[in-house]
């Protein structure tokens, strides 16, 4: 009885450790998201070109009458005081500032103008973050951002989310391609080479984490997140352990094979659980 109790206690501790490790990534991303300003993302790096739908606020030093806020039209231009229509689409923030300053100087409206542009709303550059994240939706891009930047802005991966993320992005030929990134392995190894940059129109999809089911003579029957390399013993621990009527000899595993036929086996406690497995604990006959 003592050996069995020690074994069950160890299994529970391992189960709790596995679950805690599984939530590290989502918690880390959620914590990072609290440090991000909104609605813009990271402020460093090269800014994206301006495009139709973007809203800009323009000021000229010591010239309050020239201050204006405008939305870039579908033709790619804005109407600026004393200058009229000025094309800004395709220029980044710095280039747009230089163009306006040059026009103001050339037309002798302002001597040595100092122009500042603040992009208050990006609509031309957006990415979709969907699936099992805290705040799914379309996110505007103002600077080059990568996968973890955008997941953090979306509030991090939800507890029900997988740590394998699907990216749908254009290749160099303009065709959309699917790529899967194992965020847990990437972060735990410290190798961020897979933390790819995300561009306008790309999609980040976080699928639901693989699950397994447990019922019968366990303390907490139900459906649970399947952790990597989870054993039958760990699955029992996640289910709260056996009831007083349960027995390890009564554990049965129901698994669907490649032909969708459900097979029932009597597993060892060290056997690995697979996605959608059903663990059933029978009542002891003694």
Q: What is the pLDDT of residue 16?
A: 45
Q: Is the pLDDT of residue 57 over 90?
A: yes
Asked if 233 and 185 sit in the same domain, the reply is: no
Q: Is 215 within a domain?
A: yes
* Boundary of a domain, candidates 206, 238, 254: 206
Q: Are residues 192 and 225 in the same domain?
A: no
Reading the block at residue 37, the tokens are 């300003």
Q: Answer yes or no: is 180 within a domain.
A: yes
Which pLDDT value is given to residue 54?
Answer: 94
Q: What is the mean pLDDT of the chain?
A: 86
Measure the CA–CA gap between 214 and 279, rounded to whole angstroms: 5
- Helices and strands: H and E segment counts in the chain: 5, 17
Same domain, 99 and 168: no
Tally of domains within the chain: 3
Q: What is the CATH number of the domain that holds 258?
A: 3.10.560.10
In a domain? residue 7: no
170 and 201 in a common domain: yes
Question: How far, rounded to the nearest angstrom, does the alpha carbon of residue 73 sit from its chain's CA centroid?
Answer: 32
Q: How many residues does the chain have?
A: 286
Whether 260 and 217 map to the same domain: the answer is yes
How far apart are the C-alpha atoms of 169 and 26, rounded to whole Å?
23
Within-domain flag for 158: yes
Task: Look at residue 46 in the predicted model and tell me its pLDDT.
Answer: 55
188 lies in some domain: yes
Picking from 121, 139, 164, the residue at the C-terminal end of a domain is 121
* pLDDT (average), residues 274-284: 95
Give the residues across from 130 on adjacent strands: 205
User: What CATH code is carried by the domain that includes residue 73?
Assistant: 3.30.1950.10
Do 131 and 32 fall into the same domain? yes
Phi/psi for 12 (5° steps) reads: -65, -40
Please report whether residue 108 resides in a domain: yes
Dump pLDDT digits (tens) for 233-261.
999 999 999 999 999 999 999 999 888 89
When pLDDT is cut at 50, 70 and 90, the band that residue 154 belongs to is very high
If 0-12 CB within 10 Å is exposed, 13-18 middle and 19+ buried, where does residue 82 land?
exposed
Residues 132 and 116 both lie in one domain: no
Domain of residue 279, residue span: 210-283
Residue 1 lies in a domain: no
| Residue 8 domain-assigned (yes or no) | no
Regarding whether 271 and 250 lie in a shared domain, the answer is: yes
- Rounded CA-CA distance 21/35 in Å is 23
User: Where is 252: in which H helix or E strand?
Assistant: strand 246-256
276 and 216 in a single domain? The answer is: yes
Beta strands in 74-175 (DSSP E): 77-80, 84-87, 115-121, 126-131, 137-140, 145-146, 164-170
Please state whether 62 falls in left (phi above 0), alpha (psi between -120 and 50) or beta. left
Do 114 and 153 fall into the same domain?
no
pLDDT cut 70: percent of the chain above it: 83
In terms of domains, do 31 and 149 share one? Answer: yes
Lowest-pLDDT range of 34-38, 106-110, 141-145, 280-284: 34-38
> Do 93 and 221 reside in the same domain of the chain?
no
From 78, 98, 121, give the residue that closes a domain.
Answer: 121
Query: What's the N-to-C CA distance of the chain in angstroms?
Result: 15
């Amino acid at each position: 009885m003592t050996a069995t109790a020690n074994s069950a206690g160890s299994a529970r501790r391992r189960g709790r450790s596995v679950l805690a490790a599984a939530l590290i990534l989502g918690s880390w991303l959620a914590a990072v998201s609290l440090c991000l300003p909104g609605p813009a993302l990271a402020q460093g790096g090269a800014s994206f070109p301006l495009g139709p739908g973007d809203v800009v606020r323009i000021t000229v030093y010591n010239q309050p009458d020239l201050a204006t806020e405008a939305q870039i039209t579908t033709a790619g231009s804005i109407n600026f005081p004393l200058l009229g229509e000025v094309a800004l689409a395709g220029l980044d923030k710095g280039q747009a500032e230089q163009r306006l300053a040059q026009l103001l100087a050339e037309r002798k409206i302002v001597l040595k103008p100092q122009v500042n542009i603040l992009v208050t709303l990006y609509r031309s550059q957006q990415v979709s973050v969907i699936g099992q994240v805290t705040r799914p939706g379309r996110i505007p891009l103002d600077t080059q951002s990568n996968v973890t930047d955008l997941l953090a802005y979306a509030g991090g991966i939800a507890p029900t989310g997988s740590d394998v993320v699907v990216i749908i992005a254009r290749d160099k030929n303009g065709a959309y391609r699917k790529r899967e990134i194992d965020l847990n392995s990437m972060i735990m190894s410290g190798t961020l080479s897979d933390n790819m940059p995300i561009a306008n129109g790309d999609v980040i999809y976080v699928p639901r984490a693989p699950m397994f089911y447990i019922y019968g003579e366990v303390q907490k029957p139900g459906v649970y997140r399947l952790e990597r390399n989870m054993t039958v013993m760990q699955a029992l621990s996640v289910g709260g352990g056996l009831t007083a009527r349960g027995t390890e000899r009564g554990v049965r595993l129901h698994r669907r094979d490649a032909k969708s036929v459900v097979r029932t086996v009597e597993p060892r406690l060290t056997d690995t659980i697979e996605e959608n497995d059903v663990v059933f604990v029978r009542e002891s006959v003694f």
